[in-house]
Amino acid sequence: MSEMEYKKERPAILMLQDGRYFQGIGFGATKQVSGEIVFTTITGAGYIETLTDPSYHEQIVIMTHPLVGNYGVPPWEKDEDGLIKYFESESITVKGFIVNECCKNPSHYESVKSLNEFLFEEGVPGIEWIDTRALTKILRSEGVQLGLLKVYNQGEEPDIDELKKEVQMIDDPNKKNLAQEVSVKEIRKYLPSNSIGRVVILDLGIKYNTIRSLLLRKIEVYVVPYHYSYKEIMNLEPDGVLISNGPGDPSKYTKPIDVAKELIKNNIPMMGICLGNQVIGLAAGGESYKLKYGHRGGNKTVIDPNTKKCYITSQNHGYCVENFEESGFIETLVNIDDGSNEAIEHETKPILAVQFHPEASPGPLDSLYLFDKFIELMEL
């Protein structure tokens, strides 16, 4: 099959809600999806983690790196702790995937399938051979947009006028309680040998590498559903509580915010990651706001405003918090690009939270020390 014949295989359309559209070639599943269109600047290494990160739930994700899929997809194997070994969750969580070029012939000793096959099996559509740079520039200048992605069968002719009508009827997923859709349904326990303490994770969309980071430090992990109350959590006798990352608007999560308020009030050691940082900030009396196009990538720099020390971090969020200082919290890290909040700590209580992802991968290892700091706050 020649290159031109391949490019004619399945037409695909990415339609923005304002009526602009991109026409390309479909891969993955043949279907139509809608969601919030966002971009990540993570490199070509990291697409597996991106696809399976629950924080991307209900989003159509653009990879700004030009060639994606080079090392294929590993098998769904479990590690010794019972976690899926190479992924951040048990399935692809993005609604759709946008790349400049999808590699169809990957090369890696752990690869068992191509990216195209992976998305097809998981029922997720993708589009390639579009100008992802031009698309990203639209979102950077105008902000993220809702849109739809449709992959057609071979030989079908896209109906642009119909898609322009349908895209106007898309509901904003951020109006929903998205954490409810990605959280565990019942408690899960991970018990390393010779454990030194116990952490309960309030699951708003946990990534497996967060759990691994605690297990490596000999911490028992109890993952509980998003709706667990303060009393239910404390009945599990934790040494500390972690509020996880996850998708959506933090102001929608009144129950987790109430839990965080009680944890603060009762001086319980607590850590927040990403959405967890926002939940704790709101519990502290702060306010949340939506970023124009979010912080998503594995190369985001944050800085300590006092020491001027920088860290390269992995990030994936569309919201931030501010105005939380009156309740005893201080800002300890800020984003070097726009000055938005990246971390908070309480001046007297054993509580810290970060807006980025300190877990082992994807991204740099600069901030793994935060798990050790959390354990120190528990005074085990």
- CA angle (120 as vertex; 118, 122 as ends), nearest 5: 70
Q: Which of 220, 229, 62 is nearest to 134 (CA)?
A: 62
Phi and psi angles of residue 167, each rounded to the nearest 5 degrees, phi first: -65, -25
Give whole-number Cα distances, 119 to 22, 56, 206, 297, 336, in Å: 20, 15, 21, 21, 35
Residue 77, CB-side half-sphere exposure with 13 Å CA sphere: 10
Helix %, strand %, coil % of the chain (to 5): 25, 30, 40
Cβ atoms 201, 239 nearer than 8 A? no
* Closest of 252, 244, 241, 339 to residue 288, by C-alpha: 252
According to DSSP, the β-strands at 219-224 and 197-202 are parallel
- Evaluate whether 189 touches 220 at the Cβ level (below 8 Å): yes
| Peptide bond preceding 362 in cis form (omega within 30 of 0) | yes
Consecutive H or E run containing 146:
strand 145-151
What's the sign of the alpha-carbon dihedral 200, 204, 210, 211? positive
Tell me which residues are annotated as active site.
274, 357, 359
The whole-angstrom separation of Cα 26 and Cα 220 is: 44
